[in-house]
Amino acid sequence: MMTLKGNRGQSITEFIIVMPIFFILLFGIFEFAYIYRAKATLNTATFEAARAGALHHARIAPMRDALAKGMTPLYMKGKTVDDSALAMVNMSVAYGTAKAMAVAIDKVPAFNVKSVSIISPTQAIFDRFKVKRSVKLQYETNFSEHEFIPNDNLLFRSAQSVKLNSGGEEIDMNVQDANLLKIKTAWCYNMKVPLLKNLINTAVSGFWGGILTASDEQKTCNAIGLANGGVYMALTSQSTIRMQSHVVSDGSNLN
């Protein structure tokens, strides 16, 4: 039979084992709530970026600006907007922070990850359905000749599909399908909860800082973290929308 003396210190041992697990779970609830908020914000911002692309000929710059504007609420600080001047300053700072993150993602050279990238149409799809004629694009003041995927009179254009190779895959597509803009966005969310953020970052990065096992998006975020001291988790989102303007290729927007 265990004596009273032999039972001494048992609760301390249990406390040492249980409390770290309890705090990890507790802090995890807070951190994953922040992550969920960031992902929901990114989903909305991605739709806004796709809509900007639909209106601006699938150009990357307007989509990147729309993405940064959509992510601005994630960086807003303060609890009141009673002071309109202060609120405007707060919003401007938040937008600048979001825009800086989008630019930082685009400037990491090693992993070919962009804050906004076009999944469809690809360059192969563009080459198959493009036409060349004089047109005034949204950002121009005069008519000039351009190659573009036409967006006008889609209801009356032929819906016959053609086979083409896009990204190493044989697909059937018609001009109506070619007018569907599908984009992918990437964002680096700076986690907040001490200790746990490092644990989550290690889990999503894998071995040797993620060189072998992490996604390219996470590697990009880790590189940004090395530069500015942040601890980031990569988030991605996709959105599809029908074009409301002609699709142009400027040499960098289509893959």
- Residue 206's pLDDT is 78
- Residue 7's pLDDT is 60
pLDDT at 212 over 70: no
How much is the CA Rg of the chain, to the nearest whole Å? 25
pLDDT-based confidence at residue 54 (cuts at 50, 70, 90): very high
Tokens of 147: 């190659």
Q: Are 186 and 115 in contact (CB under 8 A)?
A: yes
Separation CA 129–CA 149 (nearest Å) = 6
- Mean pLDDT score, 98-106: 96
- Residue 208's pLDDT is 56
Helix axes 10-55, 196-205, angle to 10 degrees: 60
Give per-residue pLDDT as tens, 139-179.
888 999 999 999 998 888 988 889 888 777 888 999 999 99
- Mean pLDDT score, 7-28: 74
pLDDT at 98 over 70: yes
Give per-residue pLDDT as tens, 62-77.
999 999 999 999 998 8
- In degrees to the nearest 10, what's the CA dihedral of 162, 164, 170, 172? -20
11 against 66, higher pLDDT: 66
- Residue 67's pLDDT is 98
pLDDT at 3 over 80: no
- Mean pLDDT score, 188-199: 91
- Mean pLDDT score, 53-59: 96
Return mean pLDDT, the chain: 88
- Mean pLDDT score, 229-245: 96
C-alpha 64, offset from chain centre? 10
> Is pTM, for the whole model, over 0.75?
yes
Short-list 131, 113, 74, CA closest to 249:
131
Give per-residue pLDDT as tens, 114-125.
999 999 999 999
Quickly count helices (H) and strands (E) in the chain.
8, 8
pLDDT-based confidence at residue 50 (cuts at 50, 70, 90): very high
- Residue 21's pLDDT is 78
Separation CA 136–CA 145 (nearest Å) = 8
